[in-house]
A and B are shown apart, each in its own frame.
Chain A
Amino acid sequence: MPIFEYQDVKIDVDEDGFMQEPEKWDETIAKALATTEGVDELTDEHWKVVNYLREYYLKFGIAPMIRKLCKETGFPLKRIYELFPSGPAKGACKVAGLAKPTGCV
């Protein structure tokens, strides 16, 4: 299993760099994971997306629908791609410490 290291952060990740133990997530880890997504600094807009994902995840154990993420944060999908270039599932969810969704998605 690959290990991701950045400054003081050292965590288990899967082959695509997603956290293996989402319960260990914190803001320092988010900042570290963001560097793998080409996001050097997490702005308020980034945090709005990340915090929403996190909140939803703690309640439901999975990421929200993309459409719901857009509506609840007020960001169109295009804006989310600007914030997280690999998109909501692969980029934003990774930074928020969520697992990768599987199936017909």
Chain B
Amino acid sequence: MKKIAKHNIIAVLKAWAKDHTVIAPQRKDHDEIAFDTFDEASFTLEYTKSSVSPKQALFPQNEVIFRIEDGTYRQVTDEKKRLLFGIRPCDMKALLQSRDFMSKDFKDVYYEARAQGAATVVMACAGPQSPTCFCTTTRSGPWSDAGYDLQLTDLGDSFLVEIGSAKGEALASSELFSPIDDAEAGRLLAPLRKEAEERIPLVPQVLEVMEKLKLSGVPDDAWEYFGNKCINCGGCSFVCPTCTCFNIFDRVVSEGNGERIRSWDSCLYAGFTKEASGHNPRGTQGLRIKRRHEHKLLYHNDRKTHGAVSTCVGCGRCSDYCPVHIGTIEVAKHLTEKKS
């Protein structure tokens, strides 16, 4: 393991930025923080979690996947080298799950190209990043156990640096990183991790509702309470780090020229499952919300989740950005508190 002084972080980021597009927490107007291209002047280490997950770097909301130019097709893949600095352990877990999913039955060449070019520098959490964090319940934080290139843990004036890959080894090879004895590092980490874990409250209802779903213990009409409130914004899917559904559409640019674009889609939109006949197998908003939560908390839990209990990684963004409080936490609490 290695260590790096906090005052050297900027120097390291600048070095990385020479051959990567570094995406890091940046102070924007009105003192708001967003993940954006690294700029020394507005870079900050005082941040919580990003509003949209880092999936946006590997799976942008809109992406041209091929072009038709004068009658010929050209596949468009993005092989740019990106370095995602300061992503949170829950998001790291999501990136691992998504990469598996995107290459499971059919290799998504567009995602894979971006994923191969991406380096990940995880920032372990010292506690919840917002009141909606529940990664300790889903076993996807507050630190990463594998899959990262580098993981940083805050030691006050410095960061402890764990190296998770050969790519990470190369990233941490400069003299700004000083070696630290592994046993010594372990002694430093253990109490910090214990403390971090204790600070993030467990939400046992999430596990309870997972059990209930498995036993088909949630009747369809229980979901209509949420269906009535939902305004079909799609935001929960868009901010979710493990949602990867997309819509495909073509655009004519000019005579003989066009492009095929994929864009984030949401199973909360009726048209997502509506069939050409007009029939919709998920015909009510309640059933669509049911499907979304089954997808997160039931269908894929026996799949490779990289150690998490589900394909929900407990980031809490669906609670943060739902205008009517239909986040996973609220859903779990509602469905377990009600006698149903």
Do the two chains belong together in a single complex?
no
B residues bordering A, Cβ < 8 Å? Answer: none
